[in-house]
Structure 1
Amino acid sequence: MESLSRVLQPYKQLVGDVAGIVTVLQMFSGCFVCNDIRKKGSSNGFSPMPFIGGCGLTILFSQHALLMGDLAMIRANVVGLAISVVYTGFYYLYTPKQSRGQFWKQVGIAVAITTSLLAYAQWEDPALVEDRFGLIITVMLLTLIAQPLFGLPEIMRKKSTEGLPFAMILSGTVVGSMWLLYGIILNNTFVVLQNLAGVVLSAIQLALFVIYPSKDSKEKKQ
């Protein structure tokens, strides 16, 4: 990877800028999910974690970018945080009153985890914090990306991918590929591994859309 990194060094600024731009564009893919929620008139059936988790992760990735001193990643994550906050607020507006307690519970967990990790980043040995903090947020990112797969048994039972955020998954694959290339240029193992694993998980989810339709099988019969 080191030799490839040296070859690609002249393109570092360009790839970083493009990765930042497609990241911001990818974040607008949440509009499609919000529109589906609006059409349904309720957030029931849609997980808030892509939005709540997006808020927490963009904060943590901004901290990691600060540790790395990478301006392109900082800019992308600050914009991403603002967009994720808007999505989360929209989701809340369409959350039925009886479900809002669960919503706030998930927000509380996300705030507690994010705050704890930010505190850890300040406490850890400066010589070790970049790698260790990078490993922690990599695991969290992959968990968030894989979250739709937790409902795989239900998808297989219903033979439907309804509820899966196709636009977010597809755009996430493109964005992951760009940051993967950028990580290679940086010769940063964590950036490479987290994006490589993210692209693989996204590809698995995209395959579900090929296997199963996006509408519930019961709905098709009507």
Structure 2
Amino acid sequence: MDAHHALHFTFGIFGNATALFLFLAPLITFKRIIKSKSTEQFSGIPYVMTLLNCLLSAWYGLPFVSKNNILVSTINGTGAAIEIIYVLTFIAYSIKKERAKILGLFIFVLSVFGVVVFVSLFALHGHSRTLFCGLAATIFSIIMYASPLSIMRMVIKTKSVEYMPFFLSLFVFLCGTSWFVFGLLGKDPFVAVPNGFGCGLGAMQLILYAIYCNKGKSKNLAAADKPVDMELGKPQQEKQSRAQNGNV
């Protein structure tokens, strides 16, 4: 193995490691969700879009679709299994309106993946199969990386990073960087382009965290004496008033 291939393989291994941490980072969030039996103001969209990205990327990395990308398949196959657990947990603990939205997205994700698999297996061969699957993986990888934009907007609006977990942002940056370099070394634009976008977005999240983390703590300390119902981020008094009026 020459130096170039060794470096390519090394970044693939590092990408697998950082991606695994990225997939496991939300465990803290889901521990909180399960404990409170509520999804609070967390968004389920990033987990659904991450699932689609994992499914399409795992398919793209298979040897009969693209060459020298088996490391892409192994980690994304693992990620898909983890994300399914997250999505189902989120659906179980979300309110009715949010549950319907996430369930609809979940069905959409499985449908898109099914169409890509069917078309690539039965209608395409060789380079056309690689191109089709690569484009699909790239498009939805970018959408996955862009899905936390709503959370970033909330951070700026509320000046609090409570609903943008630090480790998730950190490993978005590390994972995006690793696979960006892997794609460049392998001369694979379908790996390099979306992960370059992810690298930049992860860096933006870390910058926001650095700006607002202390402000968020100050805000939380100032509100510590107020009885807050974390289910919807509203005072318990308001919830009790709604309950008395029959509007739960």
Counterpart of 1:22 in structure 2 is 18
Shift in alpha-carbon separation, 1:168–1:120, aligned structure 2, 3 A:
farther
Which stretch shifts more, 144-153 or 179-188? 144-153
2:66 to 60, 65, 68: 68
Please give the alpha-carbon distance, in whole angstroms, between the structure 2 residues aligned to 1:211 and 1:183: 31
Please give the alpha-carbon distance, in whole angstroms, between the structure 1 residues aligned to 2:143 and 2:52: 13
Q: C-alpha displacement at 1:209, in angstroms?
A: 0.8
Percent identity for Structure 1 against Structure 2: 21
Counterpart of 1:82 in structure 2 is 81
- The structure with more radius of gyration: 2
Counterpart of 1:118 in structure 2 is 117
Counterpart of 2:32 in structure 1 is 36
Counterpart of 1:107 in structure 2 is 106
SS, match of residue 163 in structure 2: coil
Contact 1:65 1:73 in 2 (8 A): yes
1:135 and 2:131 equivalent?
no
2:49 to 31, 44, 53: 53
Select the structure that is richer in helix.
1
Which stretch shifts more, 185-194 or 111-120? 111-120
Which stretch shifts more, 95-104 or 105-114? 95-104
Contact 1:159 1:216 in 2 (8 A): no
Q: How many residues were matched structurally?
A: 217
- Give the residue type in structure 2 aligned to 1:141: S
Shift in alpha-carbon separation, 1:120–1:162, aligned structure 2, 3 A:
farther
SS, match of residue 147 in structure 2: helix
Which stretch shifts more, 121-130 or 73-82? 121-130
Contact 1:59 1:77 in 2 (8 A): yes
Q: C-alpha displacement at 1:43, in angstroms?
A: 0.7
Q: For structure 2, list consecutive stretches of 5 or more residues without a partner in the other structure.
A: 224-248
Q: C-alpha displacement at 1:61, in angstroms?
A: 0.6
Which stretch shifts more, 44-53 or 199-208? 44-53
Q: C-alpha displacement at 1:13, in angstroms?
A: 2.9
Please give the alpha-carbon distance, in whole angstroms, between the structure 2 residues aligned to 1:182 and 1:129: 21
Q: C-alpha displacement at 1:203, in angstroms?
A: 0.8
Counterpart of 1:3 in structure 2 is none
SS, match of residue 72 in structure 2: helix
Q: CA RMSD in A?
A: 2.4
SS, match of residue 61 in structure 2: helix
- Give the residue type in structure 1 aligned to 2:175: V
Q: Deviations over 1:66-121 (max 9, x none)?
A: 11132211111111111112222222332234542223122122222222222332
Please give the alpha-carbon distance, in whole angstroms, between the structure 2 residues aligned to 1:204 and 1:65: 28
Q: C-alpha displacement at 1:33, in angstroms?
A: 1.9
Q: Deviations over 1:170-200 (max 9, x none)?
A: 1121112111221122111221112111100
